[in-house]
Amino acid sequence: MTPPRWTELMEEVLIGIKNSALTLILESEDLKALEEVKLQFLGRSGRLTIAIKNIAKLPIQKRPEVGQLANEVKKTIEETITEQELKLKNLESNKRKEQIDITAPGIKPRIGHLHPMTQVLYDVVDVFKGIGFQPCDGPEIETDYYNFEVLNIPKNHPARDTQQTLYLDTRNTKITPGEIILRTQTSAMQGRVMEKANPPLRVIVPGKNFRYEQVDASHGFEFWQVEGFFVDTHVRLTDLFGTIDYVLKKLMGEKTKLKFATTNFPFVEPGVDTYMECSVCKRKGCSFCKQSGWSEIMPAGMIHPNVLKAVGYDPNKFSGFAFAIGLSRLVTLRYQMDDLRLLTNPDLRILEQF
């Protein structure tokens, strides 16, 4: 066999491959069959791939001519595969559309809603805005100065022991150890606000607080408060009682029973504790109210003169009151939940009830 005959045979092989490939491509009825044809001819061990490798065995002067033919065959096969692939995809798409019964009722999507904590928080803010209080926000990572010292709780004051403070690790920094904490009370915003604004002031501060406390049905190491304070001339203790009574009855209902008891907080004088009838047990006694029938809901009092002095106010001219609603506890009482920990439970069977 002479070299020219080898060339003719190679050309015949390439044309035969093209014809076979085009026939199989056009006969493919789905994308899987088309992919198999593609591998049969263009894969690593495909018929065209092997034929192209054999071009190297031809005489040098004949290789360009046969190589050009091989490229044309490959291009034709690839273009036909692309066209057939598009055609098959369109057919499948149309087939799926035909299978959809547009008269059948759709599947209703599950739509989320606000967490009960957020719902009650919005209600609290609305009630206070209605009587002139302005909401503000502050940092959860706080300084010892604003969290304690401005509030008449100096270093080594015994009241600090009740706060169970969480301190941030400030080693290898220029910060004095013990000066940066997770705030234990939103009361820390009293100093920050009053330093920058002059009376009269009516402010509420919703926010999260942190204390290293034993978690139980009515306590958590992470909890929400709504701090509030009112500073003006001639503010009286009766103004505080009237505000508490109005707000809690707006939130919990006009028949809500309240009682007050004297208590001691370094940043108020006098200090009062607000107790609300336990809505879980209706004063019969339960684990949430510790069998007392009453739940502490809102510690408060008249702002201590030392706090007013610390922020640059004249206590002989101005007076005020402050309070802190335990928001987490308020939510559980509003929805008659017997365990505060349910608020942080991600179980949708619980959350979907609100």
At 133, which CATH number?
Answer: 3.30.930.10
Does an H or E element contain 47, and which? helix 47-54
Domain span at residue 83?
A: 3-99
Residues 121, 327: contact at Cβ < 8 Å?
A: yes
Are residues 65 and 139 located together in one domain of the fold? Answer: no
Whether the CB-CB separation of 343 and 117 falls below 8 Å is answered with yes
Residue 143 sits in the same domain as residue 286: yes
d(CA 309, CA 316): 10
Residues 91 and 167 in one domain: no
Pair (132, 220) in one structural domain: yes
Per-residue pLDDT of 295-344, as tens digits, reads: 888 999 999 999 999 999 999 999 999 999 988 888 888 888 877 788 87
pTM of the predicted protein model: 0.65
| Within a domain: 108 | no
Question: Does residue 111 sit within a domain?
Answer: no
Same domain, 201 and 83: no
The per-residue pLDDT for 227 is 94
DSSP three-state, residue 174: coil
Into how many domains does the chain fold?
2
State whether 87 and 229 are in the same domain. no
Domain endpoint, select from 65, 99, 133: 99
- Name the helix (H) or strand (E) containing 270: strand 268-277
* 252 and 311 co-located in one domain: yes
- Asked whether residue 109 is domain-assigned, the answer is no
Q: Do 139 and 280 share a domain, yes or no?
A: yes
Is 106 a domain residue? Answer: no
Q: Are residues 146 and 196 in the same domain?
A: yes
On whether the CB atoms of residues 205 and 185 are closer than 8 A, the answer is: no
Q: So what's the pLDDT on residue 183?
A: 92
d(CA 290, CA 307): 33
Do residues 175 and 269 share a domain? yes
pLDDT value at position 202?
A: 96
In a domain? residue 107: no
Q: Which of 33, 34, 127, 149 is nearest to 85 (CA)?
A: 34
pLDDT for position 161: 75
Q: Per-residue pLDDT tens, the chain, 354 aa: give them.
A: 445 566 778 878 888 888 888 888 888 888 888 888 888 888 888 888 888 888 888 788 878 888 888 888 888 888 888 888 888 888 877 776 666 667 778 788 877 888 888 999 999 999 999 999 999 999 999 999 999 999 999 888 877 777 788 888 888 888 888 899 999 999 999 999 999 999 999 999 999 999 887 766 556 678 889 999 999 999 999 999 999 999 999 999 898 899 999 988 889 999 999 999 888 888 888 877 788 889 888 999 999 999 999 999 999 999 999 999 988 888 888 888 877 788 878 888 888 888
**Residue 301, in any domain of the structure:** yes
Task: Show which of 99, 131, 165 is a domain's final residue.
Answer: 99
Residues 206 and 278 in one domain: yes
Residue 84 resides in a domain: yes
Give the whole-angstrom CA distance, residue 260 versus residue 275.
Answer: 6
The pLDDT value recorded for residue 2 is 43
Give the Cα separation of 209 and 100 in Å (integer): 53
Q: Is 196 domain-assigned?
A: yes
Query: Is residue 175 domain-shared with residue 73, that is, in the same domain?
Result: no
Choose among 4, 19, 164: nearest CA to 80.
19
Structure confidence by residue, pLDDT tens digits, 200-251: 999 999 999 998 877 665 566 788 899 999 999 999 999 999 999 999 999 9
